[in-house]
Amino acid sequence: MSKYDVVVIGSGPGGYVAAIRCAQLGMKTAIIEKYSTLGGTCLNVGCIPSKALLDSSHHYEDAVKHFEEHGIELSGDVKINLEKMMNRKSAVVQQTCDGVKYLMDKNKIEVFQGVGSFKDATHINIDKAEGGTETIEATNTIIATGSKPSSLPFIKLDKERVITSTEALKLKEIPKHMLVIGGGVIGLELGQVYSRLGAEVTVVEYMDRIIPTMDSALAKELAKVLKKQGITLNVSHKVKSVERNGDEVIVKADDKKGNEVEFKGDYCLVSVGRRPFTDGLNAEAAGVEVGERGMITVNEHLQTNVKNIYAIGDVVKGAMLAHKASEEGSFVAEVIAGQKPHINYNLIPGVVYTWPEVAAVGKSEEELKEAGVEYKAGKFPMRALGRSRASGDTDGFVKILSDAKTDEVLGVHMIGARTADLIAEAVTAMEFRASAEDIARMSHAHPTYAEAIKEAALAATGDRALHV
Q: Which sequence positions are flagged as catalytic?
A: 446
Q: d(Cα 463, Cα 187) in Å, to the nearest integer?
A: 37
**H-type helices in 278-418, by residue range?**
283-286, 322-336, 365-371, 386-391
**CA atoms within a 13 Å half-sphere pointing along the CA-CB vector of 458:** 16
Instruction: Give the contacts of 445 (CB within 8 A, at least 6 positions apart).
Output: 451
Q: d(Cα 201, Cα 291) in Å, to the nearest integer?
A: 36
> What is each CA distance from 423 to 189, 331, 350, 399, 400, in whole angstroms?
18, 22, 9, 11, 11
- Decide if 356 contacts 363 (C-beta within 8 A): no
Nearest CA to 113 out of 20, 9, 34 is that of 34
- Decide if 309 contacts 143 (C-beta within 8 A): yes
Nearest CA to 142 out of 324, 1, 10, 292 is that of 10
**H-type helices in 198-280, by residue range?**
216-228
Q: d(Cα 21, Cα 25) in Å, to the nearest integer?
A: 6
Q: Give one word for 260, left, alpha or beta, with left for phi > 0 and alpha for psi -120 to 50.
A: beta
> What is each CA distance from 231 to 51, 82, 163, 188, 193, in whole angstroms?
19, 21, 19, 9, 11
Q: d(Cα 51, Cα 22) in Å, to the nearest integer?
A: 29
Alpha carbon of residue 133 to chain centroid: 34
Rg (CA), the chain: 24
